[in-house]
Structure 1
Amino acid sequence: MTEIPGYIYWLTRTTFIFWAICLLVVALLPDYRPIAFGLIAGSAVSYVNTKYLARKVRLITEAAANGEKKKRGLGFSQRAAVSVAAVILAVKFPQWFEMYALAGSLVFAPFALIVIGFVLSRHTERNSANERGEKNA
């Protein structure tokens, strides 16, 4: 579980770069503002939900390592409620948020983590090939 902070670090960087690109679209292409705002709002919800899930995984892992009982929480219900609230926001204010862009970007963080995980695993493979000593096969 020591790789989770690294994944969250790169997810944060990726998300901020995505937001910066969306804000450039807002500034330079006014006709696409609702789409860009929808992408920003959906990816923000996705990012927050992923950070919350990573925190829950860390807490459960620490509790299991210490021999404590599993603590109950809202879990999926809380993350789903935040996503539904974002979609309701898009329905309530269609002049500001494109609903399809918002709904589509709710899966931004999981897909970004797949790409980040692939890139980091390839990076680790390349660096481990340069090590001296025995290879564990």
Structure 2
Amino acid sequence: MNEIPSYIYWLTRTTFGFLALCFLSVAILPDYRSIAFGLIVGSAVSFVNTKYLARKVQKMTDEAASGTGKRFKGLGFAQRAAFSIGAVVLAVEFPQVFEIHALAGSLVFAPFALVVIGFILSRREKKLDSDNERGEKNA
């Protein structure tokens, strides 16, 4: 019933595939290097933030399920926000290397990818459940 590891698995594969395409575009299209580097940094920060949030949520649910009674101290929003702001500051300081619009746009890569991954995995699970039915009708 715990979907977080499978979501993170597919998010990792999706992110690394996207990063590979971005690195390939750096090699093939030198005129668009700053855009590709912005996409690389933004999607990497987005992936790390999402993975960190997933780890914190998993830890919180494990503690709630075990009933240890520890008070949870939040989901680490400040750390994730600081990481994203650091990436934007990097793009502002080095505009010749990183395109700020590409970086800012790709900071939401992982959440949007998770929506698509969740949709695909839920459709696959529904199909597997319907394949397991025996086809008998209730009369």
The residue that corresponds to 1:2 in the other structure is 2
Structure number with greater Rg is: 2
The residue that corresponds to 2:37 in the other structure is 37
Contact in 2 for aligned 1:60/1:70 (Cα 8 Å): no
**Cα deviations across residues 24-65 of structure 1 (Å, max 9, x unaligned)?**
110000000000000000000000000000000011001111
**Cα deviations across residues 64-109 of structure 1 (Å, max 9, x unaligned)?**
1121222315611110000000000000111110000000000000
Taking structure 2 as the reference length, the TM-score comes to: 0.92
User: Are positions 1:75 and 2:47 aligned together?
Assistant: no
The residue that corresponds to 1:85 in the other structure is 86
Contact in 1 for aligned 2:46/2:106 (Cα 8 Å): yes
Stretch of structure 1 that moved more, 58-67 or 41-50: 58-67
Which consecutive segments of 4 or more residues in structure 1 shift more than 6 A? none
**SS across alignment from 1:96:** coil
Amino acid paired to 2:10? W
Taking structure 1 as the reference length, the TM-score comes to: 0.93
The residue that corresponds to 2:132 in the other structure is 131
Aligned alpha-carbon RMSD (Å):
1.6
Q: CA deviation at 1:7?
A: 0.3
Gaps of 5+ in 1: none
